[in-house]
Amino acid sequence: MSMLPQEIIRRKRNGESLEAADIAGFVRGLSDGSISEGQVAALAMAIWFSGMSRDETVALTLAMRDSGETLDWSHVGRPIVDKHSTGGVGDNVSLMLAPIVAACGLAVPMISGRGLGHTGGTLDKLESIPGYDIQPSAAVFRRTVDEIGCAIIGQTANLAPADKRLYAIRDVTATVDSVPLITASILSKKLAAGLQSLVLDVKVGNGSFMSDAGEAEVLARSLVDVANGAGVRTSALLTDMNEPLADAAGNALEIWNCLGFLKGEKSGTRLEAVVMAFAAEMLVAAGVAATPVEGEALARAALEKGAALDRFARMVHALGGPTDFVARPGQYLAAAPVILPVAAESDGYLQSCRTRDLGMAVIALGGGRAHPNDQIDHRVGFSALKPLGTWVAKGEPIAFVHAVDEDAAKRAQQEIRSIYTITDMQPEQRAPVLSRIT
């Protein structure tokens, strides 16, 4: 590093631009521990206040990507693609999307995360399946992507290790919500996975980290600009998170939902609209489809022929799960001891939902973490959630609670009743996919 760490911090504090070499040197010091926690925190706060240009953010992203190993898929012979979501409630899109596009000829080495705050994590959902290994050996990961076309696993220790240290420090210094830092964190891990194209699901609404559409668009644009600047063809869709996306929230319940989807039982839902939009986006980016309409037709065919369900079954088995998981999920997915309906308190339309609170209600049932080391109960959550705009009669269930005991179930019933508003005015229908950013 040509410059002392404190000089880099001072320049960023004063709003100056940093050279790529200085950013790379700082990230090396972050990785090898030669730069102190205090200095990392100070730079993170300086970036929070002063921001970073696109070139600086590209330099930070590439330096973090190069802090560990990068994967090479040149032997696979299929387009290497992935998708990332900024996180929501009942957002299990990845579980269906990876096998659908794998069945259409793409390769998806998907490195996913755990639940964060009120949002559910893809890895926690997959760990509902007995034996499923989210940290397979490199050989098993490669073989699964090679032979089946998709593998959904956790971040390996040697992919973008600088991000791990930086994230831990941001988490405790109120610097998580900086657009350049979020951008570099997300993309360093994705670029280390050796992708050729990437699609991003940036959530907007009361169940997302970005409730403001303007802020979400700024983040989406930053992600798209920086990823393209780093050499990966990338686009983003802004999608609505003012209600749960699936009709279930909770780990095993979202796996049941995924199986229902792959069997063709969720047609006409908001979830289907989002999954199909992303499948089309990925197939066009990879050059397999010429237009989104053609991409969606390919994705629908993979679903209807059962090819996507078959890929999911094979992926589960390849990563340590049961061979007959898809045929007999009830043998393997544990059910909660208490299941109670949540009755509507009046006639009317489901008008609105405090989606973030619904995510927190899953955590209160034991389905998420209050502290990083908490054990999750995969059985708990909510199912048969009715979409907003549905007319319900008094006493009709708007959801079912799955809980460990009667007391927890009754608390959750109360909570869900307060989270949904029922009025006699039918709400306007919001499109699940709001806009596209390239």
CATH number reported for the structural domain that contains residue 211 in this entry? 3.40.1030.10
Within-domain flag for 417: yes
- pTM over 0.85? The answer is yes
- Whether 36 is catalytic: no
What is the Cα–Cα distance from 357 to 311, expressed in whole angstroms? 34
Given 269, 292, 318, the domain boundary residue is 318
- Whether 185 is catalytic: yes
What is the Cα–Cα distance from 84 to 186, expressed in whole angstroms? 8
- Whether 266 is catalytic: no
User: Residue 36 sits in a domain of what CATH number?
Assistant: 1.20.970.10
As for how many domains the chain has, the answer is 3
DSSP letter, residue 374: P
Within-domain flag for 282: yes
pLDDT band at 168 (very low <50, low <70, confident <90, very high): confident
Within-domain flag for 104: yes
- Whether 11 is catalytic: no
| Residue 130 near residue 324 (C-beta atoms within 8 A) | no
What is the Cα–Cα distance from 8 to 17, expressed in whole angstroms? 10
The answer to whether residues 259 and 232 belong to one domain is yes
The overall average pLDDT reported for the chain is 95
pLDDT band at 212 (very low <50, low <70, confident <90, very high): confident
What is the Cα–Cα distance from 166 to 376, expressed in whole angstroms? 25
User: Residue 398 sits in a domain of what CATH number?
Assistant: 3.90.1170.30
> How many other CB atoms sit within 10 Å of the CB of residue 374?
11
- Whether 82 is catalytic: yes
Give the residue among 398, 403, 404, 394 at the shortest CA–CA distance from 416: 398
The answer to whether residues 9 and 157 belong to one domain is no
**50, burial (CB in 10 Å: exposed 0-12, middle 13-18, buried 19+):** middle
Q: Which of 35-49, 107-121, 332-346, 354-368 has the lowest mean pLDDT?
A: 107-121
The answer to whether residues 150 and 240 belong to one domain is yes
- Whether 22 is catalytic: no
Among 78, 142, 164, 170, which one carries the catalytic annotation? 170
Range of the domain at 203: 81-318
Question: Amino acid identity, residue 262?
Answer: L
- Whether 122 is catalytic: yes
Among 82, 91, 163, 201, which one carries the catalytic annotation? 82
Is the pLDDT at 141 greater than 70? The verdict is yes
The proportion of the chain whose per-residue pLDDT surpasses 70, expressed as a percent, equals 99
Within-domain flag for 59: no
CA angle 240, 430, 385 (to 5 degrees): 70
pLDDT tens per residue, range 319-362: 999 999 999 999 999 999 999 999 999 999 999 999 999 999 99
